[in-house]
A and B are shown apart, each in its own frame.
Chain A
């Protein structure tokens, strides 16, 4: 080869290889690296929306085996009309096991929420700016709420002993293997978070978001669960007296759950869903199935006959709007496998979409009832009945149906009156079994339905180990410091 050619080849090869070196850090398009994702207050705001977004993930709150279902299925307001053991039936029948997907997902989702909140909380010093304080406050609220929801599922009720095992208290972003804190430690932590958050939040955001009164409302509930009745009243009052919320009138009330939260003056806090979450797999799809087409859902769990009959004491009761008895062509009650089919309508028809709903987490009626229960326990019986009567009046019950100290209508105590009203008013919103067990009362299901292993006649005592769920198996597998629930 001639030297010229060697030169040409050499130049050519060098030329090709001496192209400018390029950046080898390829970054994803729909994500940002940790290092830059929380740089500015705007980033922190976006990430805070992300913490809220954890509330509406399928497995946290939307599908039928998520938070609102798992809470309600253990109570006596519902009845399953199919005999099969689907994912929901482990809750309905109290046949839990540590590997249940529903509780595993709920556990993981909860701590993801807590972790994302902690990432933000760690970035903000108090008093930097009102905007940042508000952001931090909202995250403190969300963190406390997530802990509280975990406590309801995995730890025994406070009155059964503050030294019992609570859940893992997570106030940092460390990758560690923590043990469970005691019930008291977790309650103290939640309360301090909420007090701090109420202090930091100064913007009156709508009911899709946290604000000062939202924190107060949750404090009222937590104090009630803790049997700190004075504080339960104090914080219920702070909400009731804030005049940010008011009860819907009776007619509007009948369509309460079709409102979007931001347009509902009674809702204190709700998990805002949009049309993406309109699917058969939602809790609404479990509670309701279009009677004509039978195609929109499953309708496999409905209101219990016991609950429907309780409502039936006052045919005027507006709360009839939230259940729908299905009838045979001849007008008799439709039954499935011997179980009356009664649809529940608290999780459907937001913006007209059959299975769309933004589950209500806190609403004003609960504040009246929190105050009533606390007053009943403190012996302020008249005040307790006054609050109950406010709720009953709003429900359209005639004066003859209201309580007086002289006429408790077959009830043996004012507390019993309050608890029954809580049951009537807050049914299907995830309160019933907790209300019973924290008050040391048994749950009695003497009505048709596939619950327990002795269907139609099922009783669970408040000291039953199974009133709470097992710590997820995946978690105990990975973290040897976790004690399992007995």
Chain B
């Protein structure tokens, strides 16, 4: 049936649908209230049971009647005659003389037994005494909201913000203190006790947290799937403005690579190995229950990473690469809280093992291969008078600042969370920075028992600057490595040189310091997203929810080359581009939840529609007078571009969930989804998942086993999809984005593929969760994820008129093991907690079309897809070494004769060397180790992440260690275990250097592959909580100061800048990258 429904949810209809839905819901709500108050009650009953009378009232009034069954059983039969009475009048009449009382609350009539007031009244007042005291945590911080009651009685009180409580005590001899997240505590009291101060210990094994999974929340114990949870606090140790960057190493199987230190660049995320190549390999993000969206790290309450099919399945079509669910903070019932968080610090660039030559080193190196007759002419000794360190000139210590102010408050009816944030990070490269403002407002309001509204607004503005310097060909990042140490950046009089002076030696005839004075590349963007969610309780066991989000983005880019600079070409050039986009999504869900004895059922039905739109326009003008960088000032319009892009998705799903006695859990779901991106023949697809788990520790035979807190076995299987491809990818199209001689022109841009369909991943997962002696928790998962109908840009013969075609080819398997171990090593005064996660993943190509190899890759750094091989296999010529007789480079030739015997020989001719499999960029394992030490008010956190067993292609060397190919580029210093061939007989790592290059020795080959294993101290934080005595004088509830360091240490044998490369997607190539930063930050957290 829902197939019919999905057909409706697409294109512009979504907007209509949303508006109509809202209107209807609003009207309904209003009507409901009007009916309720206007309705008059008429009753004429004789000797009727009290229950039947209440049913009649319910029917007439539309109010629910909630009651204690026992109480009503005792009620006598009554006679009642009422005409045209109000509800209250009617009820008053019915309850006359009964030992029952009622309350009208929202839409409910709540009936209970009358309290036995007389007994209380009978207690002599003198016996009433009061106990007061303060509740604190182990470091002496007051705890607010602790429930304090007398054992055996339900009434009690809660502590205030100073942790203080007062409780009248009539009888009983024990006080019970309880609070979620802390171990309960009992304190004996005597008749003379007046003060009880208590220290509550944190319940370190609070294992049964509520987890946001997909379209619902579950207790962790109810999950049948592989999920990892990262709390907001664990997330926020590293300083960044990017949630993805902060997730690195924090969840097993989640691999985050930050291949750049550029604050404006986003990291890449891969969950459980990449099984997609052309289609995106990044996970699907879900913010606050709706696909897409973004959240500022400081607003994050928790992050849930869904990994196996049972969990991701509901996101069917787009969840093949896992799902990252981000939940933002919401207001809590209680006193208003104000939190301030500020940090300030310094970033410096990390160049790893890269050391460029200085003036002397370069001079001596070039002498070895220059023609002696012309060396003194081309390289006069006077060059040695100058020794410029261009890297020092290009880079700086950047400043990072981060300030957040958040207010949260709430009454029973309304809760709100509002936060504002300012973030500014200067790149370590000059003229590169990012500045963000963020405002979030999450408001929940409960109208009545039935209707609840959430409104979430998120507003972000971003200003960024990217370095541009003196040339539209080469950036300062390029020049910093390339420029010769012999060139002077400044004239004698201190003015900046242009780089075009005749004595300038370097290949880049430009001095980036000159361009920095006038040129710039700036961007700004703003985005606003608003969520409106309504939850309507149709019946206590049936809820209808609608989640709706509209998101708008606007961006502008400005690139300006001043007429005074080289890049300005004498006339000045300005490029502007403008981007506008919106996304609309509506997700409507019906939730059924029923418990019958030990059986509990849940059912979920969802219908969802999404539409995305974006347009981009650009223009380039030239002929601008110096300093004038608006388009009006351009004398000539050179180029204009612009296009529009749209996509739509529709989805329907059902999920059924059953559990028996909290011991056996089964969940199954079925999803149908369609996307405009796929071929007409295969636009919609079905996905399904099934999961089951067995909570062994809830079995009777287990409950007596000492030390086992939790033992659970999980299993799941499902089919999910991947649609991360370009819009319109299935269409064969003629593009009109060209011209000839002033005429509009069209040309065939893409071949059609009407059969293009979803990439589908089949994932099987078996997991084990163990909790031991309240101190150890371990989650182990093994999985097999096989992606079929793999989406790949298959290279076509150029003679076909196209170079590639997006096709569904073959299948790829990822198998792996994930372990997450959390231990509380010490729990005394000194607390020590360790969290280790490690993931092993093996990928293998299982099938390809006709089992034909596919060779891909950029810049001749080829990768190979071959059945039976790793997905990320390097396919290069194998480097043999250096011929000691003449210093020639040698590569391997593999000859296969008619009988299939292979012989290996070597050659110095690059063009005839054999391309072959030389290794893989897939790591053997990845993971992270987090250690947390707490002593009194101090806490120390250290977080390491590691990657092992992958090969990295060090492309930097092909340019800066090139055996004479680039004599106008600075070169890398050799490390201690490297040597160059100088004379016959030398056995060396490097061939003879020859002016202009030695037989293509620097071309791509296994020569540049290196072990990319590393371990990095991603973050270390020391923080101190201020003592309560000081705080109360400062009128603060809580305050702490911290110092934190990011990327302070890396252990690796990799010779390039940074072994951290993009993993997955057949990458693993490292080049002249923007170096990552070491950050040292000081910060302050205050709570009022």
**Contact residues in A for B731 (Cβ distance below 8 Å):** 27-28, 31, 33-34
Q: How far is the CA of A473 from the CA of B910 in the complex (A)?
A: 13
Contact check: which of A34, A54, A295, A337 meets B570 at CB < 8 Å? Answer: A295
Tell me whether A338 and B748 are in contact in the complex, defined as CB-CB below 8 angstroms, given that A24-B10, A25-B676 are known contacts: no
- Cβ of A40 within 8 Å of any chain B Cβ, yes or no, is no
Q: In the complex, identify which listed stretch (B386-394, B435-443, B737-745) lies at the interface while the others stay far away.
A: B737-745
Tell whether, in the assembled complex, residue A33 and residue B733 are in contact, meaning their CB atoms are under 8 Å apart: yes
**Contact residues in B for A312 (Cβ distance below 8 Å):** none
Contact check: which of A38, A52, A97, A281 meets B1000 at CB < 8 Å? Answer: A97
Contact check: which of B565, B647, B648, B911 meets A98 at CB < 8 Å? Answer: B911
Tell me whether A272 and B910 are in contact in the complex, defined as CB-CB below 8 angstroms, given that A18-B8, A32-B746 are known contacts: no
Tell me whether A478 and B796 are in contact in the complex, defined as CB-CB below 8 angstroms, given that A23-B11, A32-B733, A33-B731 are known contacts: yes
Closest chain A CB from B449 CB (angstroms): 13
Contact check: which of B728, B744, B746, B996 meets A85 at CB < 8 Å? Answer: B996
Tell whether, in the assembled complex, residue A170 and residue B799 are in contact, meaning their CB atoms are under 8 Å apart: yes
Tell whether, in the assembled complex, residue A30 and residue B736 are in contact, meaning their CB atoms are under 8 Å apart: yes
Q: In the complex, identify which listed stretch (A105-113, A240-248, A427-435) lies at the interface while the others stay far away.
A: A105-113
Tell whether, in the assembled complex, residue A8 and residue B996 are in contact, meaning their CB atoms are under 8 Å apart: no
- Cβ of B768 within 8 Å of any chain A Cβ, yes or no, is no
Tell whether, in the assembled complex, residue A97 and residue B13 are in contact, meaning their CB atoms are under 8 Å apart: no
- Cβ of B607 within 8 Å of any chain A Cβ, yes or no, is yes
- Cβ of B124 within 8 Å of any chain A Cβ, yes or no, is no
- Cβ of A122 within 8 Å of any chain B Cβ, yes or no, is no
Tell whether, in the assembled complex, residue B996 and residue A475 are in contact, meaning their CB atoms are under 8 Å apart: no
Closest chain B CB from A55 CB (angstroms): 8
- Cβ of A416 within 8 Å of any chain B Cβ, yes or no, is no
Tell whether, in the assembled complex, residue B800 and residue A115 are in contact, meaning their CB atoms are under 8 Å apart: yes
Tell whether, in the assembled complex, residue A31 and residue B996 are in contact, meaning their CB atoms are under 8 Å apart: no
Question: Please, which residue of chain B has its CB at the minimum distance from the CB of A271?
Answer: B740
Contact check: which of B473, B742, B751 meets A175 at CB < 8 Å? Answer: B751
Q: How far is the CA of A470 from the CA of B860 in the complex (A)?
A: 14
Q: How far is the CA of A339 from the CA of B892 in the complex (A)?
A: 37
Contact check: which of B24, B566, B751, B1000 meets A15 at CB < 8 Å? Answer: B24
Contact check: which of B7, B32, B734 meets A47 at CB < 8 Å? Answer: B734
Contact check: which of B20, B473, B570, B643 meets A19 at CB < 8 Å? Answer: B20
Tell me whether A15 and B860 are in contact in the complex, defined as CB-CB below 8 angstroms, given that A82-B507, A175-B796, A209-B741 are known contacts: no
Tell whether, in the assembled complex, residue B747 and residue A280 are in contact, meaning their CB atoms are under 8 Å apart: no
Q: How far is the CA of A55 from the CA of B749 in the complex (A)?
A: 15
Q: How far is the CA of A111 from the CA of B747 in the complex (A)?
A: 13
Contact check: which of A89, A110, A295 meets B566 at CB < 8 Å? Answer: A295
Tell whether, in the assembled complex, residue A9 and residue B538 are in contact, meaning their CB atoms are under 8 Å apart: yes
Tell whether, in the assembled complex, residue B911 and residue A470 are in contact, meaning their CB atoms are under 8 Å apart: yes
Q: In the complex, identify which listed stretch (B130-138, B523-531, B966-974) lies at the interface while the others stay far away.
A: B966-974
Question: Please, which residue of chain B has its CB at the minimum distance from the CB of A334?
Answer: B502
- Cβ of A354 within 8 Å of any chain B Cβ, yes or no, is yes
Closest chain B CB from A74 CB (angstroms): 16
**Band of interface residues on B:** 35 or more
**Contact residues in A for B565 (Cβ distance below 8 Å):** 295
Residue of A15, A115, A118, A281 with most partner-chain B CB within 10 A:
A115
Question: Please, which residue of chain B has its CB at the minimum distance from the CB of A110?
Answer: B798
Tell me whether A115 and B801 are in contact in the complex, defined as CB-CB below 8 angstroms, given that A23-B11, A274-B742 are known contacts: yes
- Cβ of B88 within 8 Å of any chain A Cβ, yes or no, is no
Contact check: which of A26, A35, A174, A208 meets B676 at CB < 8 Å? Answer: A26
Tell whether, in the assembled complex, residue B741 and residue A275 are in contact, meaning their CB atoms are under 8 Å apart: no
Tell whether, in the assembled complex, residue A29 and residue B645 are in contact, meaning their CB atoms are under 8 Å apart: yes
Tell whether, in the assembled complex, residue A176 and residue B800 are in contact, meaning their CB atoms are under 8 Å apart: yes
Tell whether, in the assembled complex, residue B28 and residue A9 are in contact, meaning their CB atoms are under 8 Å apart: yes
Contact check: which of B674, B736, B1003 meets A24 at CB < 8 Å? Answer: B674
**Contact residues in A for B25 (Cβ distance below 8 Å):** 12
Q: How far is the CA of A50 from the CA of B4 in the complex (A)?
A: 43
Question: Please, which residue of chain B has its CB at the minimum distance from the CB of A479?
Answer: B797
Contact check: which of B24, B748, B752 meets A115 at CB < 8 Å? Answer: B748
Tell whether, in the assembled complex, residue B17 and residue A455 are in contact, meaning their CB atoms are under 8 Å apart: no
Tell me whether A280 and B734 are in contact in the complex, defined as CB-CB below 8 angstroms, given that A54-B747, A478-B797 are known contacts: no
Question: Please, which residue of chain A has its CB at the minimum distance from the CB of B747?
Answer: A50
- Cβ of A148 within 8 Å of any chain B Cβ, yes or no, is no
Closest chain A CB from B736 CB (angstroms): 5
**Contact residues in A for B967 (Cβ distance below 8 Å):** 83-84
Q: How far is the CA of A293 from the CA of B733 in the complex (A)?
A: 45
Tell whether, in the assembled complex, residue B569 and residue A280 are in contact, meaning their CB atoms are under 8 Å apart: yes
Tell me whether A19 and B13 are in contact in the complex, defined as CB-CB below 8 angstroms, given that A31-B735, A84-B967 are known contacts: yes
Tell me whether A338 and B374 are in contact in the complex, defined as CB-CB below 8 angstroms, given that A17-B5, A29-B644, A111-B801 are known contacts: yes
Closest chain A CB from B572 CB (angstroms): 12
**Contact residues in B for A35 (Cβ distance below 8 Å):** 732
Tell me whether A111 and B674 are in contact in the complex, defined as CB-CB below 8 angstroms, given that A17-B8, A470-B911 are known contacts: no
**Contact residues in B for A98 (Cβ distance below 8 Å):** 911
Question: Please, which residue of chain B has its CB at the minimum distance from the CB of A456?
Answer: B371
**Contact residues in A for B195 (Cβ distance below 8 Å):** none
Interface string of B936-970 (1 = CB under 8 A from A): 00000000000000000000000000100111110
**Contact residues in A for B378 (Cβ distance below 8 Å):** 337-338
**Contact residues in A for B910 (Cβ distance below 8 Å):** 97
**Contact residues in B for A178 (Cβ distance below 8 Å):** 797, 799
Tell whether, in the assembled complex, residue A85 and residue B798 are in contact, meaning their CB atoms are under 8 Å apart: no
**Contact residues in A for B8 (Cβ distance below 8 Å):** 17-22
- Cβ of B129 within 8 Å of any chain A Cβ, yes or no, is no
Contact check: which of A84, A116, A174, A177 meets B996 at CB < 8 Å? Answer: A84
Tell whether, in the assembled complex, residue A52 and residue B801 are in contact, meaning their CB atoms are under 8 Å apart: no
Closest chain A CB from B657 CB (angstroms): 23
Q: Number of A residues contacting the other chain (C-beta, 8 Å)?
A: 102
**Contact residues in B for A16 (Cβ distance below 8 Å):** 17, 20-21, 24
Contact check: which of A19, A26, A110, A294 meets B727 at CB < 8 Å? Answer: A26
Contact check: which of A20, A50, A108, A455 meets B745 at CB < 8 Å? Answer: A50
Closest chain B CB from A474 CB (angstroms): 6
Question: Please, which residue of chain B has its CB at the minimum distance from the CB of A80?
Answer: B996
Contact check: which of A1, A37, A112, A338 meets B377 at CB < 8 Å? Answer: A338
Tell whether, in the assembled complex, residue B966 and residue A84 are in contact, meaning their CB atoms are under 8 Å apart: yes
- Cβ of B16 within 8 Å of any chain A Cβ, yes or no, is yes
- Cβ of B803 within 8 Å of any chain A Cβ, yes or no, is yes
**Contact residues in A for B62 (Cβ distance below 8 Å):** 1-2, 5
**Contact residues in B for A296 (Cβ distance below 8 Å):** 569-570
Closest chain B CB from A483 CB (angstroms): 14
**Contact residues in A for B855 (Cβ distance below 8 Å):** 474, 477-478
Tell me whether A84 and B728 are in contact in the complex, defined as CB-CB below 8 angstroms, given that A15-B20, A49-B745, A53-B738 are known contacts: no
**Contact residues in A for B1004 (Cβ distance below 8 Å):** 99
**Contact residues in A for B962 (Cβ distance below 8 Å):** 85
Question: Please, which residue of chain B has its CB at the minimum distance from the CB of A279?
Answer: B472
**Contact residues in A for B740 (Cβ distance below 8 Å):** 49-50, 52-53, 55-56, 208, 272
Closest chain A CB from B835 CB (angstroms): 46
- Cβ of A173 within 8 Å of any chain B Cβ, yes or no, is yes
Tell whether, in the assembled complex, residue B728 and residue A26 are in contact, meaning their CB atoms are under 8 Å apart: yes
Closest chain A CB from B967 CB (angstroms): 5
Residues 606-652 (chain B) with a chain A CB within 8 angstroms: 607, 636, 638-639, 642-648
Tell me whether A83 and B734 are in contact in the complex, defined as CB-CB below 8 angstroms, given that A34-B752, A37-B746, A209-B741 are known contacts: no
Question: Please, which residue of chain B has its CB at the minimum distance from the CB of A37?
Answer: B734
Contact check: which of B569, B680, B860, B1003 meets A25 at CB < 8 Å? Answer: B680
Tell whether, in the assembled complex, residue A84 and residue B799 are in contact, meaning their CB atoms are under 8 Å apart: no
Tell whether, in the assembled complex, residue B798 and residue A475 are in contact, meaning their CB atoms are under 8 Å apart: yes
A-side interface residues toward B, CB under 8 Å? Answer: 1-2, 5, 8-9, 12, 15-35, 37-38, 43, 46-47, 49-56, 82-85, 89, 93, 95-99, 101, 104, 107-108, 110-112, 114-116, 118-119, 168, 170, 173-178, 208-209, 262, 272, 274-276, 278-281, 290, 293-296, 298, 337-338, 354, 450, 453, 455, 470, 472-475, 477-479
> Can you name 9 A-B residue pairings with CB atoms under 8 Å?
A35-B732, A46-B736, A50-B734, A52-B741, A116-B747, A296-B569, A338-B374, A450-B996, A477-B795
The list of the 7 closest CB pairs from A to B, nearest first, reads A115-B801, A294-B500, A37-B734, A50-B747, A49-B745, A34-B732, A50-B745
